[in-house]
Structure formats: structure tokens, C-alpha cells
Amino acid sequence: MLAEVETFENYLKSERGMSGHTLFAYRNDLNSLVYFLQKDIDKVSSWTDVTEQNIREFITDLGERGYAAATRSRKIASAKSFFKFMKEEQIIEKNPLSDVRQPRASQSIPKVLSVEDVDRLLETVSTTTTIEECRDRAMVELMYATGIRVSELVGLNIRDVDLDALTVRTIGKGSKERVIPIYDSAAQSIGDYITHSRPTILRNAMQHDEEAIFLNRRGGRITRQAFWIRLNKLAVRAEISTKVTPHMLRHSFATHLLHGGASLRHVQELLGHSSIATTQIYTHLTSDHIRSEYAKAHPRA
């Protein structure tokens, strides 16, 4: 049964252009289904044997094991895509999920930093004394300037940044390219890092990644996990009470743009969302802002 999962994964990679992170999520979701079918269901040795009842038992099992609604919904969505693929490829004759409704996931409101918190974070990271801190400053500035995903941030190459045009080119989900403007101070931070710190890292390192912009101390491309750790330390130094994640910078970018009057469609394009419905979650946050401003401004409020 794992052979079909691997075939599906190759399809997602070669024809759908999905990232390694997305492929890992699909693999994890489908492997958990395979494990359930082979360990907890009798006589299921191939996908042709899977029934609608098996799938319903899998959903029940996920709930009993304490998985959140969002996780259950994602796992069933992965299974739906997988079985649809197998039906189209004629690996199976009947799709056992055709009549199974996906568990509804409650939409959580993204956590964002206030403008004051972002200012404090950027002020803290601006007091650079080491080459790594100079790199961190450029990464934080760039992430808040563009709202790119952390995977896109660490995946950037030198050729992707045009400091003269003040733009960054990135390849997002589904191999979709977008070009995003950056503000002057972000360009300055990146320029300082590229001119001074990055060459020093390369000179002192054993390995040399000549393409990647953001390098670790060994000269290789910095990882998402490493940036996450560095960002948390910066947040502590900035005395920000909440735990700061890279994705919070992306959420803050979108929310602050909408607060400033940017259109939802414009923010959708900058974030690289394929559907505007995904971007609309930020309108919940801006509605709170509008109500607050209304209460301050209206004489009868």
C-alpha cells in the first residue's frame, strides 16, 4: 500500500510542483491511514479493499486519540486527494471517500504582533555586533517587509534580490513566482549583510553555498528551525511577552497592510494565496481595528 503512496507523492512533486514541506505533510497523513488500516482493520491489504466504513472508523479513531478538528480535517483532505488520484489512474474502481464529508475545521484567528512590538523587535535586532546578528537583522526586516513564508525566506538566492529595484523574487506554493517590493531600510539591512557579513562567513567556513543569501556559520544555507530559534531569542531581548514565530511576522505584515488601507486583493497577491478566501481571515482582525477606531472617533460611541 505504501507503493501507491509513493506514486502519489511523485505525482505531487513532478506535476503539481509541491514543496518538500507539503509533500512531507501528505506522506505523514497517508502513512497514518495506512498504519490504521493495516493494524486496526482486519484483512485490508490493498487499497481496493478499503471501504467507506473503514474511512469512517479512521475518522472516529482520530477523534478518540485527541487530534484537533483542524488536524482531522487535513488528514481527510489528504486522503480525498489520494483516492481521487487513484480513481483517475484506475488503480481503484470505486472511491470510498466519495460520500464521506470532511470534518469541519474551526478557523483560528492568526496571532499577530502590534506595530509597537514589531518596532521594538526591529530596534533590538538593529543593534548588531556580530555577523550572525547582521544576518538576523536582514532576515527579520525582509520577512516583515514582504510577508514571505519562512521556507521562502531561507530558500532565497542572491539573484532573487534586486536592491536597485527594491524587489524580491520568490517561488511559493505550486511553484508560483511572485515579485514583492521592499522598503528602503530592509534593502539597507540586506545590502549591509551581503556586503560585509556574508563574505566573512564564506571566508571562515568549510563549505560554501555561493547561491544562498542567508548562511549559517558553517557556510551552508540556514534552516527554518535555526531562524525560528534566533527569532525567539530576539523576541526575548526585545521584551515581547508573547512567543514569536516566523509565521507571526507574515500575519503581522498582512494585518498591518490592511490596517493601512491596502486592498484585500493586493494583500492576496503579495502573500501568494491562490484563493482570496484564505486572505479573508485577516479581515476579522481589521474589523476589530475598525471598531476600536470607531469607538475612539464617534462622539456617541
The CA-based dihedral angle spanning residues 22, 23, 27, 33, taken in that order and rounded to the nearest 10 degrees? 50
For residue 273, indicate whether it is catalytic: yes
Question: Which residue among the candidates 84, 173, 178, 221 is catalytic per the annotation?
Answer: 173
Cβ 249 vs Cβ 274: under 8 Å: no
Question: Which residue among the candidates 149, 230, 251, 256 is catalytic per the annotation?
Answer: 149
Go through the chain and tell me how many residues it has.
301
User: Which residues, 6+ apart, have CB-to-CB distance to 257 below 8 Å?
Assistant: 147, 266, 267, 270
Convert 50-76 into a string of H (helix), E (strand) and C (coil). CCHHHHHHHHHHHHHCCCCHHHHHHHH
For residue 282, indicate whether it is catalytic: yes
Question: Which residue among the candidates 72, 74, 137, 250 is catalytic per the annotation?
Answer: 250
Q: In 41-163, which ranges are continuous DSSP H helix? A: 52-64, 69-88, 115-126, 131-146, 150-154
CA 265 to each of CA 70, 196, 253, 298: distance values in angstroms, whole numbers, following the listed order: 26, 38, 15, 29
Q: Report the distance separating Cα 215 and Cα 234, nearest Å.
A: 18
For residue 75, indicate whether it is catalytic: no
For residue 250, indicate whether it is catalytic: yes
Question: Which residue among the candidates 273, 284, 294, 300 is catalytic per the annotation?
Answer: 273
User: Which residues, 6+ apart, have CB-to-CB distance to 211 below 8 Å?
Assistant: 157, 158, 159
Question: Which residue among the candidates 111, 120, 247, 259 is catalytic per the annotation?
Answer: 247
Question: Which residue among the candidates 26, 144, 193, 282 is catalytic per the annotation?
Answer: 282
Q: In which residue are the cell numbers 477523534 written?
A: 63
- Count CB-CB contacts under 10 A for residue 236: 13
Q: Which residues are catalytic?
A: 149, 173, 247, 250, 273, 282
